[in-house]
Amino acid sequence: MSALATPTRSRRTPSRADAAVFKAELALFRREPGSLFWIMVFPTGLFVVLGTIPVFREVGEAIPGMRLIDVYVPIAILTSLLMASVQAMPPVITGYREQGILRRMSTTPVRPATVLGAQMALHGIAALVSAALTITVGALAFDVPLPKQGFGYVLALALSVCAALSLGALLSALSRTSKAANAVGAVAFFPMMFSAGLWMPVQTMPDMLGRIMEVLPFGAASQALSAAGAGDWPSLAHLGALALWTVLLTGAAARWFRWE
Amino acid sequence: MAIIEVRDLRKVYGGRAVVDGVSFAVEEGEIFGVLGPNGAGKTTAVECVEGLRVPDSGLVRVAGLDPVADHREVTQLLGAQLQESELQAKLTVREALELYSAFYEKPVDWRPLAERLGLGEKLDSRFGKLSGGQKQRLFIALALIGGPRVVVLDELTTGLDPRARRDTWQLIEEVRASGVTVLLVTHFMEEAQRLCDRIAVIDRGRLAALDTPAGLIGRSASSTVISFTPSRPLDPRELAELPAATSVTTDERDGRVTVNGTDDTVNAVISLLARQHVTAHQLRVVDATLDDAFLHLTGATT
């Protein structure tokens, strides 16, 4: 295995080149209708479908004082975050490596890391736009109250985005081909979605299972968002878990990532 | 002044020296060829020049700069076309040209460049829809877009049809005429012979020879090839004893004789034919090609 010579540059200013890379990647991103659908349309669509089921709009016994539809706002947000970071992004990055696009770029004054940065930014932004869409639709169509602890909510969301993107980065690092990245993404998707509570909100899980889920990145994200949504400050344990996952996953991605 | 200097370059993979003590210097303004069989270490050597690989030992300089330590500076003056690389399939030609010109401090205007490379009509086409020749022309454009002093072209014409290959050769000559030094990696003899001012022949990681194409051909023991169809069969032993003849072959089917040798051999063949009152039909005397010289130098058996 030959490591590509891409020494770290000390003299680096965000420049015309970085802006050009972002612009080009944005243009390419908009040409992927599949990714756009799964990240931007599907999560809110699913949320709306669930919202039309009468039982979702009633306060039940499972979660005191909350309707199921209220609980599903953070779950829909995490779905789009997963779609962006675990399903959509790794095959793109792995494909760039596989096709020599990163290599070609490393013969120019621009470091290929710029492309990875642009990809992560784009997928993160797309997931955040999708989150805003879900919150808006929830408020307008189903009277889901806007997050009551605004700052806590933004913090929880920001940490969730970081954790999700670092998970995606690790998958990109470990997959040799974009086919493998697709497969790994699909396999990772279901346990992650389960831990976020797509099939069974974490609040309604049996005690032991719920506690395990809260330690996983998407379980912790789901709980932190729910808490901030309801007006409480998200628990330090959940925020800490997200931060810790981000650090661990980023470190592992940086350790194993290959430019070629 | 040498714009590229490579001295005692060594690169080892898995205990095997892929490049083993190669030295050469490329002068400003020349087309310098790196020729060798597949797997000889040509690409590894030029990737060290491009800063894509770190040499295990030896020295590489581009305009006095270290391609690894001074990567950013070197990329401003060295344009590269890699052997196997793609662009994003849905990126258009125009977007690729705009993107790459934003990378450089003093890019050339990409519009006339695209016109010159015959890409003017293709600006809105996506990379994935281009033909092999169009992709190669776009890669040449991207290698030139930063206004480099030297371009490295690696197996540029592999996979092109003969027509597209000849067009590409014309282009490379134009590039040099515009003052850019060209480092050309190839395994096509014809390409090297036609384009290069000097050629480094690399075989099994080592420099087998470094000379002009004519010099390489002259260096081979048989610089001339004589072929003819005799009016009656000749004694092969007599032919083999001709002065400076290195090989004699007789075609089983039509009896055509081919003798490799030098000018002396030509005269000796003619005297032999006259002595024996044999008429030679379709007598041809041609210079050996780089092909012959290459086989001689590398001891290849194809």
Task: Delimit the domains of chain B by residue range.
Answer: 2-211, 219-298
| Reported ipTM | 0.83
Residue among A16, A21, A100 whose CB faces B84 most closely:
A100
Residues of A in contact with B71 (CB under 8 A): 5-7
Residue B87: closest CA among chain A residues belongs to which residue? A101
Residue A10: closest CA among chain B residues belongs to which residue? B72
Degrees to nearest 5, angle at CA A79 with A76 and A83: 145
DSSP code of residue B102: T
pLDDT band at B234 (very low <50, low <70, confident <90, very high): confident
Average pLDDT, chain A: 88
Contact (CB<8Å) B71/A6: yes
pLDDT band at B62 (very low <50, low <70, confident <90, very high): very high
The answer to whether the CB of B83 falls within 8 A of the CB of B43 is yes
The per-residue pLDDT for range B24-42, each reduced to its tens digit, is 999 999 999 999 888 889 9
What's the pTM?
0.83
Is A21 in CB contact (< 8 Å) with chain B? Answer: yes
Domain residue spans of chain A: 25-256
For residues A236-253, give the mean pLDDT.
94
Q: What are phi and psi of A62, to 5 degrees?
A: -60, -50
Is A94 in CB contact (< 8 Å) with chain B? Answer: no
Fold classified for B219-298:
Alpha-Beta Plaits (3.30.70)
Residues of B in contact with A100 (CB under 8 A): 82, 84-86
pLDDT higher than threshold 60 for residue A1: no
Residue among A28, A106, A109 whose CB faces B91 most closely:
A28
Residues of A in contact with B84 (CB under 8 A): 100
Average pLDDT, chain B: 89
The per-residue pLDDT for range B124-150, each reduced to its tens digit, is 999 999 988 899 899 999 999 999 999
- Alpha-carbon distance A79 to A49, whole Å? 15
pLDDT band at B189 (very low <50, low <70, confident <90, very high): confident
Rounded to a whole number, what is the distance in Å from the CA of A172 to chain B's nearest CA?
17
Residues of B in contact with A23 (CB under 8 A): 99
Mapping DSSP onto H, E and C, the string for chain A reads: CCCCCCCCCCCCCCCHHHHHHHHHHHHHHCCCHHHHHHHHHHHHHHHHHHHCCHHHHCECCCCCCCEHHHHHHHHHHHHHHHHHHHHHHHHHHHHHHHCCHHHHHCCCCCCCHHHHHHHHHHHHHHHHHHHHHHHHHHHHHHCCCCCCCHHHHHHHHHHHHHHHHHHHHHHHHHCCCHHHHHHHHHHHHHHHHHHHCCCCCHHHCCHHHHHHHHHCHHHHHHHHHHHHHCCCCCCHHHHHHHHHHHHHHHHHHHHHCCCC
Is A5 in CB contact (< 8 Å) with chain B? Answer: yes
Rounded to a whole number, what is the distance in Å from the CA of B197 to chain A's nearest CA?
25
Residue A31: closest CA among chain B residues belongs to which residue? B90
Contact (CB<8Å) B103/A20: yes
> How many other C-beta atoms can be found within 10 angstroms of the C-beta atom of residue A124?
20
Residue A5 is predicted with a pLDDT of 44
pLDDT higher than threshold 80 for residue B90: yes
Fold classified for B2-211:
Rossmann fold (3.40.50)
Residues of A in contact with B52 (CB under 8 A): 4-5, 103, 106-107
* Site from A9, A23, A104, A258 to mutate, B interface, most B CB atoms within 10 angstroms: A104
Residues of B in contact with A19 (CB under 8 A): 102
Contact (CB<8Å) A100/B86: yes
pLDDT higher than threshold 90 for residue A154: yes
Contact (CB<8Å) B88/A4: no
The per-residue pLDDT for range A186-234, each reduced to its tens digit, is 888 888 888 888 888 877 888 888 888 888 999 999 999 988 988 889 9
pLDDT higher than threshold 70 for residue A168: yes
